Structure 1
Amino acid sequence: MLKVNSYSARGTKLSSVTLPKTFEEKENLALLAQAIRVYEDRQHPGLAKAKTRAEVLRTKKKLYKQKGTGGARHGSRSAPIFVGGGVAHGPRGVKRVLELPLALKRKALAVAVSLKVKEGQVVSADGLGSLKKTKEANKLIEKVLAETKTKKVTLVLSEGNLGAKKIFRNFKEVRILPYKDINAYDIFFGGAIVFDKEIFVAKKAKKETKK
């Protein structure tokens, strides 16, 4: 059972909150590393491309005559062994795509959250939708940074409170993400993680509806 501290939108400490069981996962650093590698690879555009000997613009004239020089026989000046020639086995501008199954992505996310909870870097915030001014939100951010001893905050918002993004966007140390878009990379490297309490309320209501 994962319990985290909870705060009001204005930084007042409230009773602790229990995270959903979907975030409870055994430590699996190999899976977490794999998820991070896949994420980083997919962020890379993969546009690097080197010209081959057929693509470089060089004279078609033979380098020097075939016989009588005492040197090795050479033809094209665009051969990879010459300065200004093509590149052999260079990057071709073809983007490779690494994949990770959805089930493993979710498991890696749970591993990242569990690790963050153990480090004391996950909290919950209640009433984010009621904030009207950045000055009010500043108290919450200062409290979280002080309590978690981190230098940045990742604020995870529920669908219903996405409007709070306007309140927090002026904080340079705060990154704002909707709950549906979070992944293991964002959580693991996100500093202090602040979950909107409405996320857990919505998940609980959805679970009860299914029953």
Structure 2
Amino acid sequence: MVDIKVKTLAGGDAGTVTLAEEIFGLEPREDILQRMVRYQLAKRQQGTHQTLGRAEIARTGAKLYKQKGTGRARHGSARAPQFRGGGKAHGPVSRSHAHDLPKKLRQLALRHALSAKVKSDSLIIIDDLRSEDGKTKATFAQFGGLGLKNALFIGGTELDANFSRSARSIPNIDVLPVQGINVYDILRRQTLVLSKAAVEALEERFK
């Protein structure tokens, strides 16, 4: 079991919480994390890149010049790739870049990412992610008191609207509900901040 102190947003102590070894205490494997990040980035890639092939070029279909007697190469279409204004040969086409990754491996990758944050002392547990007035200035000051300049905040199933609103305009700060937690966002931010509700939801999810 992994014991970690719980803090308040104001920086005070709020007891301790025991984290499940099978979720937060694994030995992180870079190969699994790399496969998961590659899977996520490939899935979000738009794939709308496309060029016009010779069949899609709007150009005359007439033969350029007669077949014989000119001393030049034989050509039948001005749409061919070797001509200026012709179609692109083997150019990119619209397609999905997504590829499959087993569900069990995706779940394992998330546990390895959480464990990696624990191992590097980059995990903070907050008792409750709430803001009374929803003011960015006050929230920014609280983050400064906790030493957070680059962090991902994971709340419960429903985020506090005031906290989310006050944090979203702060640079290098992301806020997500627990159902939106993912490996890429965990790894791209220096510190992972979980609410107690998020910890409970994660342990219930992987039970």
Distance across 1 between alignment mates of 2:121 and 2:154: 16
| Cα separation, partners in 2 of 1:201 and 1:58, compared to 1, 3 Å | closer
| Cα separation, partners in 2 of 1:90 and 1:35, compared to 1, 3 Å | same
| Cα separation, partners in 2 of 1:187 and 1:203, compared to 1, 3 Å | closer
5+ residue gaps, structure 2: none
Identity of aligned residues (%): 32
Normalising by structure 1, we get a TM-score of 0.83
1:71-90 matched pairs, under 5 angstroms? 71-90=72-91
- Alpha-carbon contact 2:79-2:86 (below 8 Å) kept: yes
Say whether residues 1:159 and 2:157 are aligned partners. yes
Partner of 2:147, secondary structure, is: helix
CA-CA distance at 1:57 after TM superposition: 0.9
Which has more helix, going by share of residues? 1
Equivalent position amino acid for 2:122 in 1: Q
Q: Greater shift after overlay, 12-21 or 91-100?
A: 12-21
Q: CA RMSD in A?
A: 2.5
Paired residue for 2:12? 12
Q: How many residues are matched?
A: 203
| Cα separation, partners in 2 of 1:31 and 1:197, compared to 1, 3 Å | same
Paired residue for 2:144? 142
- Alpha-carbon contact 2:10-2:145 (below 8 Å) kept: no
1:1-211 matched pairs, under 5 angstroms? 1-20=1-20, 21-129=22-130, 131-134=132-135, 135-145=137-147, 151-163=149-161, 164-201=163-200
Distance across 1 between alignment mates of 2:200 and 2:75: 75
Normalising by structure 2, we get a TM-score of 0.85
CA-CA distance at 1:8 after TM superposition: 0.7
How big is each residue's C-alpha offset from its partner over 1:143-163, in whole Å with a ceiling of 9 and x where there is no partner?
3336xxxx4111100125433
Q: Greater shift after overlay, 187-196 or 95-104?
A: 95-104
- Alpha-carbon contact 1:162-1:178 (below 8 Å) kept: no
- Alpha-carbon contact 1:145-1:152 (below 8 Å) kept: no
Distance across 2 between alignment mates of 1:200 and 1:152: 20
How big is each residue's C-alpha offset from its partner over 1:82-139, in whole Å with a ceiling of 9 and x where there is no partner?
2211122222212242122222111111111211222221101113236445354334
- Alpha-carbon contact 1:155-1:194 (below 8 Å) kept: yes
Distance across 1 between alignment mates of 2:103 and 2:24: 15
Partner of 1:22, secondary structure, is: helix
Distance across 1 between alignment mates of 2:34 and 2:139: 34
